[in-house]
Amino acid sequence: MTRAMGFHAPVTLDEATALLAADADARCLAGGATLVAMMNAGLVEPSTLVSLRHIDALRGIEPVGDGFRIGAMTTHRETASDARLDGGHAAVREAAAVIANPAVRNMGTMGGSIAFADPAADYPPALVAIEAEIEIAGADGRRRVTAADFFTDWYETALAPGEIVAAIHLPAMPAGARGTYHKLARVAGDFATASVAVVLAMAGDSCCHLRIAIGGCGPTPVRLAEVETRLIGGELDAPAVREAGEMLARAADPVDDARASADYRRLVIPRLLARAIERARAGGAS
Amino acid sequence: MTVTFAVNEVERVIEADPSETLLEVLRERLGLLGAKRGCNQGVSGACTVLIDGRPMRGCLSLAMNCAGRAITTIEGLAQGDTLAPIQQALVETGAVQCGFCIPGVALTAHALLATNPDPSMDDVREGLAGNLCRCSGYVKLIDAVRRAATARGQR
Amino acid sequence: MTAVGVRLPRLEIREKVTGRARYIADLSRPGMLHGAILGSPHPHARILGYDTARAAALPGVHAVITGVDIGEGLMGAFIKDEPALARGKVRYVGEAVAAVAAADEATARAALRLIRVDYEELPAVLTPEDALAPDAAIIHEGLADYFKVFDAQCDGNQMSRTEIVEGDVAAGFAECDVVVEGTFETQAQNHLAIEPCGALAEVDEAGRVTLWSANQSVFRVQANVCESLGLSMSRLRSMTPRVGGGFGNKMEAHVQPITVALALATRRPVKLILSRIEDFEMIRARHPYKIRMRTGARRDGTLLAREVDVLVDGGAYGDDSPGVLGYSLLMARGPYTIPHMKASGRVAYTNKLRFGAYRGFGNPQTCFAGETQIDEIATRLGLDPIEIRIRNAMRPGDAWFGGQKVLSNGLVTCLEKLRDAVGREHGGDAAPGKRRGIGIAACAHISGLLATGAIVRLLEDGTVMLNTGAVDIGQGSDTALAQICAEALKLPIDRVAVAVPDTDGSPYNWGTTASRVTYTTGRAVVAACDEVERRVKERAAALLECDAGDLELRPGGLVGIKGVPGMEISFQVVSAVSHWREGGPIVGANTFVFDQATIDPKRAAATGLPFGRIGVYSFCAVATEVEIDEATGETRVTRAWEAVDVGRAINPAMVEGQIEGGFVQGQGYALTEEMLWDGGRLANPSLMDYKAPGPLDSPREISTIIVEDPQPEGPFGAKGVGEIGLVGVPAAITNAVADAAGIRLRRLPLTPERVLGALLER
């Protein structure tokens, strides 16, 4: 491709947001896994690229209390291999581990991925189930939104023009919580045909914490607080879980596409949910 | 615009447009034709090169964003006439057919063995998961990686 | 044997592992321009006019061409119905309508966006059923006038119709104790060679064209380009660099005619490489089939009758479709002695991209149906699936459907070895929620067909130059042919060099297709080497003052007197004398056209069969173990076994490579690969949306068992293996699914959705 395109490599977040605010056709460049693919396909033609590569404030996974702050530029590989992301936080680690393939995981970043908001991507349901918060930086300053509020529609987020994801905050999980991400895909590394993220905690045989989010089955992750409320306090027996899955399937809004039909997705949601819950109770994906 | 990065241990100063991918720069400006364009979307794996020792997609990397990095291409794997263990293993196992995927496979496997010198069959299958091959059915490619691991271990 | 049967590394292995192999996208010529193609946005439309002025005026653009710039030529393997650029109308979304040559690819593509074409949309005909309906819009109005190489029975949108009958199926079915019937459906599969199609053409001062392209036949390229552009074949030289995979997609024309047209228009070298999306949308794919089949047997499992009728989607241009139709019917009886057989079918034009040659060439489709029905009969009769196949298997000397006697036939050995390898395992060890099963299929596939040649030259120093014109597309033919030549002349392999295929200097070779090169070209190589041997002995006899009949070749390039070790001279001496003193340089040459008739008119009647001599037969028995997830319908192949009779494995590692690669490509066809249309437009023309198996999707174990039942006139007994590894895989998988879960799927691919649907209905 040869186009006269600008390129900046700021070292601070403020510089980056200022550059983006100054030019409506500027795009920020994280790992490139999505943006460059779109440029290659002629789907986007930025006037200027603002590389985030040298901004230290966007890097690293840092413990914050019993939670974590994941810098937007953290690669999927870094997330997938960070053993500190266990317990309930394992859901996001498991999601990172099944994104695409090793080479893309070496390049792609959590911030870049969630900013694109592909409804079949792996982070969104995991972040919703963990009740993560997305820290957003813009020329006017910082703000936070919940993951659920961040993903607004097909390929759309709460980011205003010129804003970028600065970090993803994972809150502390209840004691003994376990999280998992379970994905159904046509081949290894494909986007999710449908996926389930679960974070749960048991007190003996009784469930004391439960968050469920479904991916790949609508414009945004599907979560129903009432499903969770019904199951909390119970033993997560098969009929209750199936009923919950069916409620989620009815709330989902999947489409027919190359991966599967909407009907199939609704059909498998309860089955995937059962698997995910079983897996979370057993301690997560092996 | 200008960007500087190392390619096969030699520093290169590249004049390129920011829209140029690393793959385009390697092939068209540096004459390193081993990395291939299979899909330009990062799926085939034929464009895989090592950046700071890690396999990444040349077609999804912008050259301008590689300042200061160390790029290894297939041309940089052999030391003179001496093939790297993975290259030698690919020769010995009969794994190579059309060869189009091989630069990406060899580099990916080379990096895998550097961090996991004794990979299990599953480790190899996972490690090569991003390299599509339409000719081999993967059987001999996987054999080659494990053979290379053994050969490395014997040095 | 010192060369044949050896697992020799490929001749070009070092360049491939060091990244120095040069494929079409790696080539460049001084002053080279870059080409790009504008595809039609409509599936069916008349072209009313073009406005290319803005595109031509873009700085950096050297030429803009359309169908009106390139004459009236038409190409096509069986029906010459296809122009290089759309002329008068477009017939599929993505059909090449215009092309640009510019200083760089980006400029060429930018120029495409400036080309205006005015269309009058016509009704799009998107299925074969619609195409054959009485009121269907006609896709090729000039069909009756096209040149056809056989009696195609073209009519309306019917491209070709074929029927082969042997025996009396009505009588046969009447005697059956069990008859199974079914309708099967298969999808369009993309070849997905990792290298997209491309070409580079250059014109010299005299107007002669030199053309490099990724292809499976330099000669088919030459013919297609010259026919479509109206060039004399002696004015075009066609060559190939390394090819990054060809599974039928690169056998007939792709971008070569357009690239040459751009080079002629600009008088500059032009390189044109397709993007992956263009490769999906513009080139070709495997024929979708609808198959109705019934098979009947006696209670004891003896197969008596089969009847099959197929309806094939041919796409917008004829390409290899009549051949695929005919071949799929010829193969539909399977490798069994079923006495009563009727196979019929039609292929229709539709407004989708042309469907063409693809590994298996129609056999995977009818084999899918046929091997499913063998299994269904076995189940109904309580017979073991391998035993019923052994019972009915052809034996050496039995005739194929149509009457051709098959002399080399290792099928029973394949089935027996498969039985031993797979053992009596059935299903066990599945985790909770999963079901495991094992399925079998048996099949045959030809190798052979059409013309080939070999020229073997003794160079001055006694080393050898082998020139066959065969394109090595990665399957290893250069190496295999060198091994055959080395063995025939008792030379070390490093004294045999293989010339690059070049229409200027190579003998005609129809192409690398139909699993034919080892067998057909190998035969020619052996014959050419025989002639070299004869001449060497003649010259040596004069030098050693003996009779030529007293001489023998000895390893290492020597010829000596039998029984007298030490009385010998080298090829080097013989050749030097031949060059410099008398006799003339030694050259052995052989050419032939495959000559065994397919149909014996005393046994069978065939109408509309577009080939009269098809080839010799290889055989295969394949087994797969699958695991089904009962909750989701996901189906994986956990283990696979393939026993293949290849006559003689010239290079066992390469033979295994063909079988292993064929298996996984067949697995993709069976489980995950499907080109999907949204109206006339391909909905998933990218690797994001079209999914072929990667390492994690392939079985952890593929066991290959090489069986050798020598083909009498094959080179050292060899016959082909390129395609057969794929042919039986879909049936083996669906039979395994039936074994695992008692469900019969008759539509490919077996998506989780289809499997789950069948599980729920059970």
**Nearest residue to A52 (alpha-carbon basis) of B62, B25, C96, C753:** B62
In this structure, the answer to whether residues B51 and B7 fall within a common structural domain is yes
Rg (CA), chain C: 27
Mutation for testing the B interface, residue in A1, A5, A39, A106 having most B CBs under 10 Å: A106
* ipTM of the complex in this document: 0.98
Query: Which H/E stretch holds residue C96?
Result: strand C96-102
Best CA proximity match to C126, nearest among C314, C282, C357: C314
pLDDT over 70 for what percent of chain C?
99
Mark which of B54, B76, B98 sits at the end of a domain: B76
Would you call A82 exposed, middle or buried from its count of C-beta atoms within 10 A (0-12, 13-18, 19+)?
Answer: middle
Strand partners, A182: A196
Query: Which chain C residues are Cβ-neighbours of B83 within 8 angstroms?
Result: 14, 17-18
Q: What's the distance, CA B36 to chain centroid?
A: 10
In angstroms, the separation between the Cα of residue A181 and the nearest Cα of chain C is: 16
What is the full DSSP assignment across C291-355? EEEEEEE-TTS-EEEEEEEEEEEEESS-TTHHHHHHHHHHTTT-SB--SEEEEEEEEEE-SSPPB
pLDDT per position as a tens digit, A31-57: 999 999 999 999 999 999 999 999 999
C753 in reach of chain A (CB within 8 A):
yes
Per-residue pLDDT tens over the stretch C154-175: 999 999 999 999 999 999 999 9
Q: SS3 of C546, please?
A: coil
Q: Which of the 8 DSSP states describes residue C40?
A: P
Taking the Cβ of residue C697 and every Cβ of chain A, the question of whether any pair is shorter than 8 Å is answered with yes
**Model pLDDT for residues C350-363, shown as the tens digit of each residue:** 999 999 999 999 99
Q: Are C178 and C299 in contact (CB under 8 A)?
A: yes
Assigned token pair, C460? 């001055």
> Which positions in chain B touch A51 (Cβ < 8 Å)?
64-65
The reply to whether B105 and B46 lie within a common domain is no
Q: Which residues of C698-712 are buried (b: 16+ CB within 10 A; e: fewer)?
A: bbeebbbbbbbbbbe
Q: Is the pLDDT assigned to residue C650 strictly greater than 50?
A: yes
Distance CA C95, CA A62 (A): 54
In this prediction, residue C429 has a pLDDT band, given cuts at 50, 70 and 90, of: confident
Gap between the Cα atoms of C514 and C654, Å rounded: 17
Q: Which residues of C touch A1 (CB under 8 A)?
A: 106
Angle at C585 between CA C581 and CA C588, to 5 degrees: 150
User: Does B90 share its domain with B112?
Assistant: yes
How remote is the C-alpha of C129 from its chain's centroid?
Answer: 27
Residues of chain C neighbouring B35 (CB-CB closer than 8 A):
19
Please give the DSSP secondary-structure letter assigned to residue C521.
I
Quick one: pLDDT at residue C428? 63
For position C312, what pLDDT does the model report?
A: 98
- Dihedral pair phi/psi, residue A124, rounded to 5°: -50, -50
C687, B43: Cβ pair inside 8 Å? yes
Q: Which of C597, C603, C610 is nearest to C163 (CA)?
A: C610
Number of A to C CB contacts under 8 A, please give it.
52
- Smallest Cβ–Cβ distance between C695 and the set B33, B125, B135 belongs to B125
Q: Among C533, C541, C540, C508, which Cα is nearest to C456's?
A: C533
Interval B127-144 mean pLDDT: 98
Instruction: Note which residues in 654-673 of chain C have CB less than 8 A from chain A.
Output: 672
Mean pLDDT computed over A13-25 = 95
Domains of chain C: 13-122+197-273 (3.90.1170.50), 289-448+599-761 (3.30.365.10), 451-593 (3.30.365.10)
Residues C644 and C706: their CA atoms lie apart, in Å, by: 5
Cβ A269 vs Cβ A214: under 8 Å:
yes
* Cβ atoms of residues A121 and A185 within 8 Å: no
Distance, CA of C523 to CA of C683 (rounded, Å): 45
Q: How many domains does chain B have?
A: 2
Q: How many helices (H) and strands (E) does chain A have?
A: 11, 13
Provide the residue type at C42 as one letter. H
* Pair C365, C186: CB distance under 8 Å: yes
User: Which residues, 6+ apart, have CB-to-CB distance to C684 below 8 Å?
Assistant: A258, C675, C676, C690
Range list of β-strands (E), C187-297:
198-203, 209-213, 236-239, 270-273, 289-297
**Domain CATH for B109:** 1.10.150.120
From the DSSP assignment, how many helices (H) and strands (E) are in chain B?
Answer: 5, 5
User: Exposed, middle or buried by CB within 10 Å (0-12, 13-18, 19+), for A279?
Assistant: buried
Instruction: Find the CB nearest A36 among B1, B54, B62.
Output: B62
DSSP secondary structure letter of residue C440: E
Give the pLDDT confidence score for residue C426 in this predicted structure.
Answer: 64
Put simply, whether B43 touches C (Cβ < 8 Å) is yes
Query: Which of these, C486, C533, C721, lies nearest to C619 by C-alpha position?
Result: C721
Phi, psi of C634 (to 5 degrees): -60, 135
Q: For chain A, where are the E strands, in sequence order?
A: 6-8, 26-29, 48-51, 61-64, 67-71, 133-138, 141-146, 151-153, 156-157, 164-170, 178-184, 194-203, 206-215
Q: Is B92 touching C (CB cutoff 8 A)?
A: yes
Mean pLDDT value across residues A234-257: 97
Q: What is the mean pLDDT of residues C493-508?
A: 98
Judgement on whether residues B110 and B146 belong to the same structural domain of the protein: yes
What angle, 0 to 180 degrees and rounded to 10, lies between the N-to-C axes of helices A90-97 and A123-130?
180
Q: Per-residue pLDDT tens for C591-601?
A: 999 999 999 99
| Cα–Cα dist C496/C218, whole Å | 22
Identify which of C7, C245, C656 has the shortest CB distance to residue B135.
Answer: C245
User: What pLDDT sits at residue B152?
Assistant: 85
Strands C464-467 and C681-682: unpaired
B-contacting chains (≥3 CB pairs under 8 Å): A, C
pLDDT band per the 50, 70, 90 thresholds, residue A1: very low
Asked whether the CA dihedral C326, C329, C334, C339 is positive or negative, the reply is negative
Contacts of C59 (CB under 8 A, 6+ apart): C107
Sign of the alpha-carbon dihedral angle for A116, A120, A122, A126: positive
CATH homologous superfamily, domain A178-282: CO dehydrogenase flavoprotein, C-terminal domain (3.30.390.50)
Mutate which: C278, C675, C751, C754, vs A, most A CBs within 10 A: C751
Instruction: Tell me, yes or no, whether B63 and B96 share the same domain.
Output: no
For the record, the structure tokens of B48 come out as: 């895989």
Domain boundaries, chain A: 6-51, 60-170, 178-282
Shared domain check, B47 and B8: yes
A106 touches chain B (CB under 8 A): yes
Looking at every residue in chain A, the average pLDDT score rounds to 96
For residue C41, give the 3-state DSSP assignment.
coil
Which chain A residues have a beta carbon less than 8 Å from that of C192? none
The residue-averaged pLDDT of A171-187 equals 97
Neighbours of chain A (3+ CB pairs under 8 A): B, C
Q: Which residues pair with A62 in a beta bridge?
A: A69
A 74-93 residues with CB below 8 A of B?
A: 77
Question: Above 60 in pLDDT, residue C95?
Answer: yes
Name residue, tokens 């870094």.
A78
C13 contacts in chain B (CB < 8 Å) = 90-91, 96
CA dist A138 and A13 (Å) reads 9
Identify the band that residue C430 occupies on the pLDDT scale cut at 50, 70 and 90.
confident
Query: Among C631, C691, C696, whose Cβ lies nearest the Cβ of A271?
Result: C631
Interchain pair C634, A268: CB under 8 A: no
Buried b or exposed e, range C610-624, using 16+ CB within 10 angstroms: bbeebbbbbbbbbbb
Region A106-127 average pLDDT: 97
Cβ contact, residue pair A100, B24, below 8 Å:
no
Q: Which residues of chain A are within 8 Å of residue B70 when distances are taken between CB atoms? A: none
In the stretch 258-277 of chain A, residues with CB closer than 8 A to chain B read none
Q: Which domain holds residue B98?
A: 85-153
In 3-state terms, what secondary structure has residue C710? Answer: coil
For the domain spanning A6-51, the CATH number is: 3.30.43.10
B46 touches chain C (CB under 8 A): yes
Judged by a CB distance cut-off of 8 A, whether residue C247 touches chain A is no
* Rounded-to-5 percentages of helix, strand, coil across chain C: 30, 25, 45
The CATH class that applies to domain A60-170 reads alpha beta
Nearest residue of A to residue B52, measured between CA atoms: A106
pLDDT at A285: 63
**Using CB atoms and an 8 Å cut-off, which of residues 7-36 of chain B contact chain C?**
27, 32-36
Going from the C-alpha of C400 to that of each of B27, B32, C345, C440, the distances in angstroms are: 51, 52, 19, 21
Q: Where are the alpha helices (DSSP H) in C145-202?
A: 169-174
| Mean per-residue pLDDT, C394-422 | 97
pLDDT digits (tens, 9 = 90+) for C678-689: 999 999 999 999
Residue B58: give its domain's CATH number: 3.10.20.30
φ/ψ bin of C717: left (φ > 0), alpha (ψ from -120 to 50), beta (otherwise): left
Query: What residues contact A54, with CB distance under 8 A and at least 6 apart?
Result: A9, A10, A11
CA distance C366 to C332: 5
Provide the percentage of residues in chain A whose pLDDT is more than 70.
98
Among candidate residues B76, B101, B124, the one where a domain is terminated: B76
What confidence tier does C85 reach under pLDDT thresholds 50, 70, 90?
A: very high
Chains near C with 3+ CB pairs less than 8 A apart are A, B
User: What is the per-residue pLDDT for C762?
Assistant: 87
**C473:B98 CB<8 A:** yes
Q: How far is B61 from chain A (nearest CA, A)?
A: 6
What is the DSSP-derived secondary structure letter of residue C88?
A: S
Q: What is the pLDDT of residues C124-139, one digit of tens each?
A: 999 999 999 999 999 9
CA distances from C225 to A11, C273, C282, C402, C512 (A): 56, 17, 17, 35, 18
Tokens representing A242 are 């199936």
* C390 to C301, C332, C416, C580, C692: CA distances (angstroms): 10, 18, 8, 61, 33
Side chain identity at residue A125, one-letter code:
P
Closest to C660 measured CA to CA, from B143, B37, A12, A193: B143
Q: Answer whether A22's CB lies under 8 Å from A139's CB.
A: no
pTM for the predicted model, two decimal places: 0.98
Selected residue of B27, B65, B66 to mutate for chain A interface (largest A Cβ count, 10 A): B65
